[in-house]
Amino acid sequence: MEKISPHQFMTLGGAVLMGTTFLPVASIVSGACGRDGWLIVLPAFTLGIPYGLMVLSLLSQFPSKNLLQVSEMLLGKWIGKIMGVLYISITVFFGGLLLGQVGDIYERSIMPLTPIGIFYLGAIILIFYLSQAGIEVFARFSEIIFPLIIFALLLNLVLSIPRIEPEELMPILSNGLSPLLGGGIKVVPFVMEYILFIAGIMTFLPAEIKDIRQLKVEVWRTVFLVGIADMLVTFMQLLVFGPNETTRIVYGLLVLGKMVEISRTVAGVESLFMEVWLGALVIKISAFLFTASWGLEAVFGLKGIKWNLAICAVFMGIAFYFLRGPLLIKEIGLVDNYIILPFTAVWIPLLWGIARWRKREGVRGK
């Protein structure tokens, strides 16, 4: 079976966690916290660290098993199957919504006259190719794309510095700390998407003690790197647009790209940034295709190219159903807040707690 290295685990996990989060995060937290929204982004992301460590703890006890297989072992066959069906349903539905976001972003930003189905088709072909190439090729692809995502993100922010208005952030914490809690709850689902993914790739991670130690370090690096990047994105948008405009503009980072000017000769370079960010979207959608495919194999024993094609067809159907941008964004928020967050927040600690209890009871029995 293919295995990925700890470094590939970090870049792949970072690309999945980054995914689409850098586009709506500023609008989400500014809507909940106003000008103080940037303060809660990194603390909310750090909640992913204990969840990631719990998953790796389960890996050390159940090497070469994914979390769906572990669920059947710890919760019983039928409850484990139910958890598996929920997991597959969530990953397929959310993956289809993210595919819809590819068309929505391109249509809104740089290619409004192109039929939206062209964007869906182009993205799904690349996603299907990655799924057929295997986890190792997918991880190598992320090793190339993830640094480019970070570089393009930072370049966009640096080139936007001339347009900042520092007074937009003043006064800090004028409404107290309580609004930050609401903003944090809106950000946590992004981290839970990442946890859902690493729960599915447990089978492909090295399970030696020294490797698990390194994987734990990579979880910390991933969460802090992406959390800091998203915090800077939010910080810059608030400085440039102010809290009200930041809330209104869902894809504010793309608007920043349109405003970029270099020596008054190069302007409107958002299309260049879009190509890099498409890589982030493709990686995240591919991750949910992988997890759905692994879920079908683990729960029902269904595997092969025809099932991957079937998942891609469902992705396309969901994307076409939620065609309009506002409806799509609303649906993604609902799935994040009311399905992914509670499901993952309960599932992972439940398995970890039962595994710890059984291990302790086993030691006492001896």
DSSP for 275-299 reads HHHHHHHHHHHHHHHHHHHHHHHHH
- Whether 155 and 311 have beta carbons less than 8 Å apart is answered as no
- Whether 79 and 300 have beta carbons less than 8 Å apart is answered as no
Q: Two tokens at 165?
A: 């208005």
Q: Two tokens at 172?
A: 């800090």
Packing angle, helices 48-61 and 341-365, rounded to 10: 40
- Whether 98 and 256 have beta carbons less than 8 Å apart is answered as no
Q: Cβ atoms within 10 A of the Cβ of 331, count?
A: 18
- Whether 327 and 174 have beta carbons less than 8 Å apart is answered as no
- The 3-state DSSP class for residue 334 equals helix
Could you list the mean pLDDT of each consecutive 10-residue stretch along the chain, which spans 366 residues?
Answer: 86 88 85 86 93 93 86 90 93 92 77 81 90 88 88 83 81 78 89 92 87 93 94 90 84 73 56 74 91 90 89 92 73 90 94 89 55
- The 3-state DSSP class for residue 19 equals coil
pLDDT of residue 265: 53
Rounded CA gap, 57 and 69, in Å? Answer: 15
Backbone angles phi, psi at 340, to 5 degrees: -65, -45
- CA 129, 135, 136, 138 dihedral sign is positive
- Vertex 243 angle, CA 240 and 247, to 5°: 105
Strands 266-267 vs 261-262: parallel, antiparallel or unpaired: antiparallel
Q: Two tokens at 113?
A: 């006259």
pLDDT of residue 342: 94
- Whether 195 and 49 have beta carbons less than 8 Å apart is answered as no
Q: What is the dihedral of CA 141, 142, 148, 149, to 10 degrees?
A: 140
pTM (2 decimals)? 0.90
Q: Which of 341, 277, 306, 242 shows the shortest CA–CA distance to 145?
A: 277
Q: Cβ atoms within 10 A of the Cβ of 187, count?
A: 26
pLDDT of residue 153: 84
**Across-strand partners of 262?**
266
pLDDT of residue 271: 64
- Whether 266 and 41 have beta carbons less than 8 Å apart is answered as no
Write the single-letter amino acid at 366: K
Q: Cα 7 to chain center, whole Å?
A: 18
Rounded CA gap, 41 and 17, in Å? Answer: 13
- The 3-state DSSP class for residue 267 equals strand
End-to-end CA distance of the chain: 34
- For the chain, the structural domain boundaries read 6-361
- CATH fold label, 6-361: Amino acid/polyamine transporter I (1.20.1740)
- Vertex 201 angle, CA 197 and 204, to 5°: 160
133-189 pLDDT per residue, tens: 888 888 998 998 888 888 888 888 888 888 888 887 777 777 777 888 888 898 999
Q: Two tokens at 120?
A: 């869906």
